[in-house]
Amino acid sequence: MAIGNNQTSLTSSGFGLELKDIDLAELDDNTKSILVEGFYASGGAILIRNQQHLTPKQLCDFVSLFGSVEKNEKYDPNFLEPDFPEVLRIGNLMEDGQRKALWIKSDEERLWHSDDTFRHPQPIGSCLFCVTAPPTGGETWFAGMGEAYDDLTFEIKQKIKPLTALHSYNHLNEFLRKTNPHRPPLSSEMRKNLPPITRPLVVEHPVTHKKALCVTNIHIEAISDLDETEARVLLNDLLDHATKPEFVFSHAWKPGDLIVWDNRCAMHAPSPFDENKYNRLMYRLTMNGEQVIPDGN
Ligand SMILES: [Fe+2]
């Protein structure tokens, strides 16, 4: 859907915007305001293509429009760009038998999540920049949690309003280890540094003040006042709703494509590709900033 000469909505609900005719190497004040306004108006995901000329420094400058850029201390330094620890390489890149990028094998199951809801403060968003893409597979899916929340019935909104969920990195790590046996269990130090935290199922965005669902079920160990079965049924129902086609777009990457998203109101999910046949390399930058307003009231 075209909503302006240089903007195209990526879903029928209005979630997601492609911004055209933008060069992120030239961040003048006008461009900055188009980017920031577009980011919030999009419901939390903007796509910009043809940026293959960007340097790591220019990527950092761009991402810093939305928050402070994280230094990726928790990742293997071999996965970070030299002199730019803000830039984490993700993919199947190898050199001399050593992994040079964080490799998370995806399977057909769509693992919807907002990044790191198990820590507080949570990173408020991330940017993925495509360096190398397979000709098929490796797409990333995005879903708008504000649009999905708005579309819930009054009864469901009332039901979930008081509920909180326990988000746990260990829960996620054990889940990922089933398909990624190379991934080690968390050390006791990591478990101590990242204990489970509580978040409501409905949050309020600190900038737009729109409410959004927070239903990252692969991070969620339990929901307040519900037994395990009830919690899983509710989470699955909410996730099914939130990932209906009108709230979702999938992006098939080309080198130079860039998407920046807002973890406070958008989820995303990876797709597999044939890693024995093709290479995929993405740069990811993550930003910190103002947190969601917890009770959503
Ligand atoms: Fe992610």
Tell me the average pLDDT of the chain. Answer: 94
Q: Which of 84, 29, 77, 10 is nearest to 54 (CA)?
A: 84
Structural domain span for residue 253: 2-288
Distance 169 CA to ligand 1 centre (A): 13
| pLDDT level of residue 104 (50, 70, 90 thresholds) | confident
Position 294 scores a pLDDT of 75
On whether the CB atoms of residues 47 and 142 are closer than 8 A, the answer is no
User: What separation in angstroms does the CA of 134 have from each of 18, 47, 95, 139?
Assistant: 22, 19, 19, 9
Q: Is residue 296 part of a domain?
A: no
Q: Is residue 252 part of a domain?
A: yes
% of the chain beyond a pLDDT of 70: 98
Q: Is residue 214 part of a domain?
A: yes
Q: Is residue 215 part of a domain?
A: yes
Instruction: Give the H or E element holding residue 281.
Output: strand 281-288
CATH classification of the domain holding 59: 3.60.130.10
Name which of 37-51, 82-96, 174-188 the model is least confident about.
174-188
Q: Is residue 62 part of a domain?
A: yes
Distance 201 CA to ligand 1 centre (A): 19
Distance 114 CA to ligand 1 centre (A): 6
Distance 128 CA to ligand 1 centre (A): 10
Q: In angstroms, rounded to a whole number, what is the distance separating the alpha carbons of residues 18 and 163?
A: 34
Q: Is residue 96 part of a domain?
A: yes
Name which of 7-11, 82-86, 96-100, 284-288 the model is least confident about.
96-100
Q: Is residue 294 part of a domain?
A: no
Position 297 scores a pLDDT of 46
Average pLDDT rounded to a whole number, residues 126-147 = 97
Q: Is the pTM of this model over 0.85?
A: yes
Number of structural domains found in the chain: 1
Q: Is residue 164 part of a domain?
A: yes
Distance 49 CA to ligand 1 centre (A): 20
Distance 126 CA to ligand 1 centre (A): 8
Distance 275 CA to ligand 1 centre (A): 19
